[in-house]
Structures are given as C-alpha cells and as structure tokens.
Chains A and B, each alone.
Chain A
Amino acid sequence: MKLSTYNFLTSKSIRGVKVGYPLKLVVSKQDEVEAEFNPTFIERLLPKLEWSTVYLSAEVVGLQEDIPKEFSDDIVSNQDVLQKLHHLLLEVDILEGQLECPETGRVFPIKDGIPNMLLNEDEV
C-alpha cells in the first residue's frame, strides 16, 4: 500500500461511524520501490490529498523532517519538496501492518502490501 492510497482510505462505511478518518496506521514491514518522478503529477495530486494525513503518514514512516507540517502554496514551486513528496507518496510501500478505525478501533490488516478493508455483513 502506497501512502497516497492511504490518504484516501476511511472506515466510514462501518455502521455508526461518522468520519472514520484518518485511519491509524501501524507499520510492521515496509519497502521502497522506485517510481519515475513526475513533478506535475505530484503538483496536481496535492489538492486532492488531505495534507494533515500526508504529514501524519510521514511521521509514521519517519520522514516528517522532509515534509512541512502546514501546507502552503510554496510547496508546488519547490522541486526539492515535490521530490520528497514523490518519495513519500509513491515510493514508500507498506507491506505489513494495520489500519485502525479512529472511532471503533476496528482493525484492517495489511498483508502482502494490500489493506483488507472488507467488512462483515453485520458491521455495515
């Protein structure tokens, strides 16, 4: 699971859960893959991401030094930060770990790089 994907995930569909975001991410095994850097792609992706969750995920994988805590328009013109965002969002690969619903504590395991978001019939 890439951290760009993580940015989109919620547990809102659990019955009774209002926001379900951001999910608490726990990493037990991660990897790095190489992806081609495309600054425009990152630039255009940014408005679709929740910045506080981008920062949160940077903290989880220990890259918080690379990312400004608050979003500002300067980021898009800063090649260096874009490069670091590219690395954080598209190259860090969470292989094992879990996601946890902030409201119910329901755990979604991550196995072989795939988060299992599937709920049982009686949970929805």
Chain B
Amino acid sequence: MSDDIGLWGVPLAILGGAIRVSTPFIFVSIGECLTERSGRINLGLEGTLVFGAMSGYAVAYHTGSPWLGTLAAAFAGLLFGLLHGWICRLPRVNDIAIGIALMIFGTGLAFFFGKPYVQPVAPDLPAIPLGFWSSLPQVQAALNVNVLFLAGIVLAFATAWMLKNTRVGLTIRVAGDSADAARALGIDVNRVRLWSTAAGGALAGVGGAYLSLYYPGSWNEGISSGQGLMAVALVIFARWNPVNCLYASLLFGGAGALGPALQSVGVTSGYYLFYAAPYVLTLGLLVATSSRSRAMPSAPGELSIVK
C-alpha cells in the first residue's frame, strides 16, 4: 500500500492536530469555566499555564515520572489560583487587572526558574495508539491519543454533571449568579470563589504540563502561544458550558493545526497568516456571540465582563 495519500493528508493532519493541540485548551477552558461560573474571571491563566509547563517539566525531569510532573503542575496552578482568589476577595480590587498582573508574574517566574531546564530532556506522557487498525502511518500518527486528552473528555462531562446535579455545583452556580442570594442561603461567596479559582488554576497547570510533557513536548520560553488567554475567550463562546468547552477546544485545535497541515503538503505561502487562524477565529466568534444591548444568555450574573 502506498504511503502517499495526497490531499487526504490535510484533513487527517487537521484531525490529528485537533486532538493534539486541543488538550491544553480543554483543561484551561474547563478550569476557567468553573471559575467564571462562581462569578469571577481569571485572566492570569496564561501565566499559570506557562508556570505549569515549567514546573511539570522540571519535576518530571528530576523524578523521571511525567505523572508526578503533571501533579506538580496542578499543585502550582492551585497556588496561583489561590493567590488570585485571595487578592480578589479584598475590596476595590479589580479581578481583570489582577489577572493581567498574574499573567506577567507567572510567566516571569516560569522563565526565571525554567532557565536550567531548556536543555535537559524530561520523559514524555504516554500516548495510546488508537490507530493500530490502520496500516497508514498518517492515520496511526493522527490517532496516537494522549491519556490526558481522554481525561479531558471525561472531565468535561463530569464537570457539567457536577455543576448541574450536585450540591457543590449548585453552590458554585448560586455564588456566580447572585452574590446576594448566595449570602441569603448562608453561603460564603468569597470562599466558594476562592476554591473555584484554585481548581481552575490547577486545571490550567495540567494543561501547561501537557504542553511541555507531550506536545510540543519540551520546555522553552515560547511554549505557550496564548492558549491560556484564548481559553478565556473560548469559555464565552462555549456559553459557560463545560461540554461546549470541549467541542470549542477541538475546533480551536483544528484551526491551530491548519498551518502545519498545509505546510506538510507543500503549501508554504502565507504560512504566518495561517498561524494567526486560531486568534482570528477566536475574535470572530467573540464578535459574533457578543451583544451590545442584552446580557449574554446563560452568562453568570455576577461576572464583571458581562455586567
């Protein structure tokens, strides 16, 4: 059988790319979704993602276990989330501005401590060869699925179920929709938001660990290309629904894979414009789904960006 599958390589590469590229989006967007459902926005997840990538890589390198690295990244993300949540509970502090500061701070700390880890090679997270049935190497490559991708799918449905059906989920939603109602129910709004932000940070850390430990699979200062920030926009597009976050992440992953996929079949002109595709897509979706006159449907009522 010929290995040359011609232009079929493009959709296949996009599918494979969507699976590979979308995983960090899935984790960050579900984390941000959780935070925003509690009524706060954390723009600092970009910094958390980069710091997660660095700390995950460093711990995996020292311990030899990529899973310990992922755990460390989640813990680091948790700390960043706690910092954001703790600062935001003070009066007159703007959660968006704090997010920007934490973006700079997290990125700076990651570059600061990450310098010695640019050269060494850490073990990768394992992948499951779901393309074993095909003899085509392109199909096998596209369906070589990382464990974290599958975990992300489970996480999306579990988070949606948790928000809808459990006491914790109801508490988060009440805190996000009306702080007054939450207080009337005896809920400590700040505490709910603190832990929702912390959980969101932990998930963003895992997303970062995926970047450095699987795809692209190394640590360097250009590891993130704004995934943490795009995920925030993606949550708006996904209408604060974790399952929609999953679908939106796949769409973004596919857009991100467009450039490399076309390059692989020899289309090189306008390469840099294809590189901009995910950002253009994000912006286009934001424009299409925002509205000037009415509050966005299903947006948490306490969210500063939709008020």
A and B interact physically: no
- A residues whose Cβ falls under 8 Å from a Cβ of B: none
- B residues whose Cβ falls under 8 Å from a Cβ of A: none
